[in-house]
Structures are given as structure tokens and as C-alpha cells.
Amino acid sequence: MMMNKDAIWGILVMILVAGLAAAIIDTGGVEVDLEPSVEQEEQIVVNETALLHDDGHLHAAPVLSLIAAEDDGTNISLSGFTIHAHPDQVTVDVVFENESIMQFTPDASGLWNVSFNTNASGLVSLNLTATHALENTTSVPMVVDVDRGVEEEEEETGSGGSDNNTDNSTGNSTDNGSGNQSGNTTDGGSDNSTGNSTDNGTGTPTGPTYNASDLGQFWLDMFMCQSDDEVTPSDDLTTSAVEEHECMVSITMNATHLTITSNGLPNHDFESTLACSQGGDCTAAQTYEWSIPRSPVNDTTGGHDAANCPSANGAYTCAPDRSDIAIAVNGVPFFGPEDGPGGDAVASHHGVFEEDRQPIELGVCHGHSAQGGTYHYHADANCLHWHAEEGEAILEDYDNSNPEAVAANTNTGNHSGVIGVALDGYPIYGFWGYDDNMNITEMTSSYRLKAGETGYNGIDDYEYIEGLGNLDVCNGHFGPTPDFPDGIYHYHSTMLNGEGDMGFPYFLICYHGEVDLADGGADCSGFGETWGPGIGPPPEGCEGGPSGQLEDVQLVSPVTVYSTTWLWLWLGMLAMLAVRWRLAGKA
């Protein structure tokens, strides 16, 4: 009988030894090594469509972004980058006229450069798609349109009178605020009352103009800080160090939308203020991405939630009160008027009331940083078109002292240049515009404080009075601009209302055009002002931080589970054997 028990124990020990060997050496046909090869990596099946990398993670689908496109009439050259954890494992396919004309792989940093020859005329439309075969993920297609027909027409007419050879598809920014389709750089400004040179537009709606039904080329030309632009480093004046921050913007287009990516750094010297000096959150590069319609459409649906723009009475979608509502042409977000506690940040800054709930301070150009180093504007933003003359500095020579003085910083006697784009696709211009008689005037808001209120309660303290100022309930109007002489709906930045008081809402409070605020996922841009440590919980979808993306999640692979199970069984059996040997010794 003892022999039978010994045989049984022996069999159990053999099984457990085999299991331990399988856990260490081979599990499910996968050899576990400190440096697994790609072939080994491909054998670890997590599910039917995605595979596990050797770093134990699944990754987001690749994202394509265009840096520049150049066309000499025969050869089209494209350069860009691919955002992915393993860009050198991604294959990019280029399709022209429904036929794949080339495939390539970015380098390890994600950068790529390709070129091809074609004699095609008119609109040359290229469709680029990035695929990561290992995880079976594919990017959203990126469409690059090269309009050779427009270029030829400009050459025939001599548009712009410049010898600059700039292709329409490159998206080069013009620095004159009025823009042109050939990308010529002109200086349309003159000395203003403070002696500062601005480049904010032409005085009359003549010269190169744009198509109001498709603003794609307009935005390609208007946005600064693109790859072909000369970028002057900026300094955070809150710190004692001299930094060299550089703004960066990239724009891609498809048939209906532009995708704007930005690092959120301004193109001028700035102040992070209290988040930096007291909290250590000085302005830092971010990763922003917005989707903007190329052809804005007026919103006529009605029935919208009016909580953040009660005077609109549901006619239009309200802009967020304390997060990004628009994008400046230097890639910095415009925020709504309210501060973290819910007061009017601009009115508080100018002493209309005392903000006793949380210290709030705006820097030059009415911008500052929030937690996470997210720099943004609450008003003004016209610093992006202001250039210091020799011996001048922005803190001393850009007058930020009171609302009445701010617009004069960029007063050239001409219509202001565009300073940003609202999320509905309509442009936002600076302080100066045309009145009904086509005279240049400082544009004013039609909002005023309710009787007895100060702005302490933010939006709720203001009421819209039709005709009080130049602008409507959303803080815009329809009319000509130098870029659109036949007229376009557009917003203005305002520091004053029609009575000379605070120019709330400063940029806009509702969207005159159709807008999908859910496009692009959760709105996590209020980090540090509306949510974050010591303020409140994150919005849904923002649990991973201000980027709205969860941290990489470690997946427990079948290998780990299988190995751990066998290890515990082996340890348990060793304990049983120890007990048996002890009992046998006592016997």
C-alpha cells in the first residue's frame, strides 16, 4: 500500500515539475526571453484584432500630421510626422486618383519625407493613411490638396506683386493679418499711438481676398508658427530665467475640416503669473488638437442649453465658460470669461470686484497659465500681432493698465487682422473693425452688468442689450473685412462695451455657427481652473489628466496568469510534501 502512495506522490511531483518547466520555459508556444523578438511578439495573441507588444501595452492608432508640402509644377514633396509609440513599425500608404502610388515607413522619431512626379493639373488630391499592422490599427485618412489651377491663375494675373514662390498647400502664415492666397508677406501696418508697429491688416477691403464659403486656404495662410515660418523664441517673464519657448502649429485638411495641432506656446513674451510663481506650474508645451469646419454654417436650429449664455435664450450653442472656446492663430487657446471660482477673470483683474475665493492674476495680453502649464488668453490676445520697436519691451510698452488703453496698442487706423478661429469655424478679429459707414472704429460689446452686480458671479451678472454696442448676442456680426469684402460673419475681441464699461464676454459667449463641442472627445481643457487638485473632480473622460487620456494600462498577459497559477500549485505541493516527510519521520 505504501508503494502505491509513493507512486502517486511521484506522479504528482512529475506533473508539478513539468508545470514549473512550462511556466519558466514555454507557455502556450511562446518562449519567454528578456529580449523577445518581433516573431515572438506576434505569437502573443491578446484578441482577434490587436496584438501585445513586448512592452506589454496596446497603443493608440497612428496619427498623421503634415509639416510642409512643396510643388514645383512637376514634383510634389511632402514632409510630416507620425504620432505613434512605434512609428518605425507603421506603414504609410499614399493614394492618388484611387491608386496607391507609394508606401513608406517613418523613421524612429516619426518623421518622414516623400516626393513623386506628376503632370496632373487642377486639384491634385493625395490621400495618406498610416497602418500599424501588428495591432491592426489605422489612422484617420489625411487629405493633402495641391491646387495647381489656383497657382497658375495667380501667376497669370501677378497677384500680390511679389517674387515669393509659395505653394498654396504649404499653409505658410502671412504676417499681415489680411493674408493672400500666394502667401506673400507684406507689412500693412504703421506706427500707432504708442509708437508700436503692428501688422494687423489693410484699411479697405481691396487686394487679395478669400472665399467665404471655404476658409481652408485662409486658415492655412493665417496661422503662425508653422514649419516654414520663422519663429522668434518667447520668454516667460514671470520667471527669473530667460527661456526660449517656440510656438509650433501644424494644420492638415480633408474635404470638410481642418485639424489644428499646437504646442500651446505663444509667439510673444508672456507672463504665467501665479500658477508659476506660487504653484510651480509655469507655462509648458502641451499637445492640443482641434477640428474646425472649413465651411462654417449659421446655426438656425435653436433649442440649445442656455445655461452659459442665458441672453441667447437657446438660439445658439453656448461657449464653455471656463475652458477653450477658440484657438488663436499662434496656437494658444482662448478661454471663456470666468476664472476658477466662477467670477469674471478680466473684471477682477481690472479691479471691478475683489476675487476673495482664489487668487487670480492675468498677465500681459490678459493671458496666464493654469495648472499643468496650460497658457491661455481670457481677453485681448492682440499681442500676437504686436512687435516691439528697438528699445521697447512688452511689459513696459504694451499698455495693459486699464480696459480703455488696451485697444490703442494695435490701432493703426486700419481694420484689425484675424487673431483666432472659433470652434464653429468663423474668424475672430482684433479690436478694430468697420462700422455701418465703413469707418474704422473700436468694436464694442452689447453686454453690461446687471444693476447692483460686479462680475463676481461671472456670466450670471451680465445682460445683453441689443444695440448697446456694435456686436450681437454672441459678440460678433456679419460684415466686410479686408479678407472677405463681400462680408462674412465674424467675432471681435472687445475690452469695452457701448457705454465704455467692461467689454464682456471679451471674445465670444455663444457660437453663431453650427458647432459640435463633443467632436474630438472629452473637454479636459479646464484643468487647474474648473477641475484638478484642490478644485474639483475631473469631467468624464478626463480621469487620466488634462490631456483627457488615461495613462498606459498594463495588460495582464495570459503568460503571466498561467505562470503564476503553476507557481502557486508548485509551492502548495512542496508544503504538502514537507508535511508528509515530517509525518513519515515521526513514524
Least confident stretch, 176-190, 357-371, 373-387: 176-190
Mean pLDDT of 133-145: 88
Q: What is the pLDDT of residues 442-497, one digit of tens each?
A: 999 999 999 999 999 999 999 999 999 999 999 999 999 999 999 999 999 999 99
pLDDT(267) > 60: yes
* Shared-domain flag, residues 72 and 141: yes
Most confidently predicted of 44-53, 75-84, 240-249, 541-550: 240-249
Cα torsion 569, 570, 571, 575: sign:
positive
What percent of the chain has pLDDT above 70? 69
Least confident stretch, 8-17, 179-188, 330-339, 459-468: 179-188
* Shared-domain flag, residues 31 and 96: no
pTM, full prediction: 0.60
Dihedral over alpha carbons 341, 346, 348, 350 (to 10 degrees): 170
pLDDT band at 17 (very low <50, low <70, confident <90, very high): low
- The runs of H, that is alpha helices, within 43-185 are 148-157
Do the domain assignments include residue 196? no
Burial label, 4 (beta-carbon count in 10 A; 0-12, 13-18, 19+): exposed
Do the domain assignments include residue 83? yes
Q: What is the pLDDT of residues 32-48, one digit of tens each?
A: 333 333 333 333 233 33
Looking up residue 72, the CATH number of its domain turns out to be 2.60.40.10
Angle (CA) 22-27-30 rounded to 5° is 130
> d(Cα 558, Cα 109) in Å, to the nearest integer?
31
Do the domain assignments include residue 216? no
pLDDT(75) > 80: yes
412 CB-near residues (< 8 Å, 6+ apart): 188, 189, 190, 191, 192, 198, 200, 201, 432
Query: Domain boundary at 130, 150, 170, which?
Result: 150
Query: Domain boundary at 99, 130, 150, which?
Result: 150
150 CB-near residues (< 8 Å, 6+ apart): 168, 181
Do the domain assignments include residue 548? no
* Shared-domain flag, residues 146 and 67: yes
Q: What is the pLDDT of residues 572-582, one digit of tens each?
A: 777 676 666 65
pLDDT value for 476 = 98
pLDDT band at 12 (very low <50, low <70, confident <90, very high): low
Count how many domains the chain has.
Answer: 2
Do the domain assignments include residue 428? no
* Shared-domain flag, residues 93 and 132: yes
* Shared-domain flag, residues 73 and 120: yes
pLDDT(194) > 80: no
pLDDT(246) > 90: yes
Do the domain assignments include residue 363? no
More confident residue, 257 or 59: 257
C-alpha atoms less than 13 angstroms from C-alpha of 51 in its C-beta half-sphere: 14
* Shared-domain flag, residues 77 and 144: yes
Mean pLDDT of 138-167: 58
Average pLDDT of every residue of the chain: 78
> d(Cα 367, Cα 507) in Å, to the nearest integer?
13
* Shared-domain flag, residues 45 and 70: no
pLDDT value for 190 = 36
* Shared-domain flag, residues 80 and 137: yes
Do the domain assignments include residue 249? no
Domain of 36? 2-50+566-586
Do the domain assignments include residue 106? yes
SS3 562: helix
pLDDT value for 72 = 84
Select from 247, 244, 245, 253 the least CA-distant residue to 227.
247
Query: Domain boundary at 133, 150, 167, which?
Result: 150
* Shared-domain flag, residues 33 and 75: no
